[in-house]
Amino acid sequence: SIGYTWGPKWETSIIEFIEPWYMLSMAYKWLGEKQTHVLAICDYPGYKPGDKDKRLTEDIIKVIGKADIVLAHNGDRFDVKKTNTRALIHGIPPPKPYKTIDTKKIAKHKFGFDSNSLNDLAKSLGLKPKVQTGGFSLWLGCIGGDMKAWRKMKKYNKRDVDLLEEIYLLMRGWATLHPDVS
């Protein structure tokens, strides 16, 4: 989101939104598949900086529509709601019903880690960590059409999905509320 504030960052609320948030990219893979796929607004024909996410959202809904179960980290509180919001805004019908598995919920419910962030779980479990983004400048670069920033964003997205799968496979046996996959 882009908006006006009265004060310095992190210390005040938005007074007025100038531009609402939109999605830049999404990465996914099917459980056990080697290839991680990335969908990004910069990859659509005719892309130019400032393009919004309608085509991306349509494709995300198509991918979700093929899944019986969607796995995410903090997905129930963030990813699912954000995707649903953009679909509704664009008039895109919802996917067929699906179940979710949220590794952050499993971590909170079954374990006592110091932190349940994806990267902190990776560190605690001895896994290769997330790709470092360099901070907010990566998102600004993507919004501005910087293709080097987009390459880094895609690498970041891919690692998150691969890491999510690794953590899920380690935690899966502990997930007593896991959907039936028989």
Longest dimension (CA), the chain: 55
Q: How confident is the model at residue 12 (pLDDT cuts 50, 70, 90)?
A: confident
Which residues make Cβ contacts (< 8 Å) with residue 8, sequence separation at least 6? Answer: none
First to last CA, the chain: 42
Which residues make Cβ contacts (< 8 Å) with residue 143, sequence separation at least 6? Answer: 24, 49, 50
Q: How far is Cα 90 from Cα 83, in angstroms, rounded to an integer?
A: 11
Q: What does the block give as tokens for 118?
A: 């994806």
Cβ–Cβ under 8 Å, residues 138 and 152: yes
Instruction: Compute the average pLDDT of residues 59-76.
Output: 97
Please give the DSSP secondary-structure letter assigned to residue 51: -
List pLDDT tens digits, range 87-113.
999 999 999 999 999 999 999 999 999
Q: How far is Cα 66 from Cα 172, in angstroms, rounded to an integer?
A: 22
Q: Global pTM?
A: 0.90
pLDDT computed for residue 10 by the predictor: 66
pLDDT computed for residue 156 by the predictor: 97
Locate tokens 């999905």: which residue? 161
137 Ramachandran zone, left/alpha/beta (phi>0; psi -120 to 50): alpha
Q: Where are the alpha helices (DSSP H) in the chain?
A: 54-65, 79-90, 103-110, 118-124, 136-143, 147-171
φ, ψ (nearest 5 deg) of residue 133: -90, -25
Residue length of the chain: 182
Instruction: Compute the average pLDDT of residues 20-27.
Output: 94
Ranking 23-32, 46-55, 150-159 by mean pLDDT, the lowest is 46-55
Q: How confident is the model at residue 1 (pLDDT cuts 50, 70, 90)?
A: confident
Which residues make Cβ contacts (< 8 Å) with residue 33, sequence separation at least 6? Answer: none
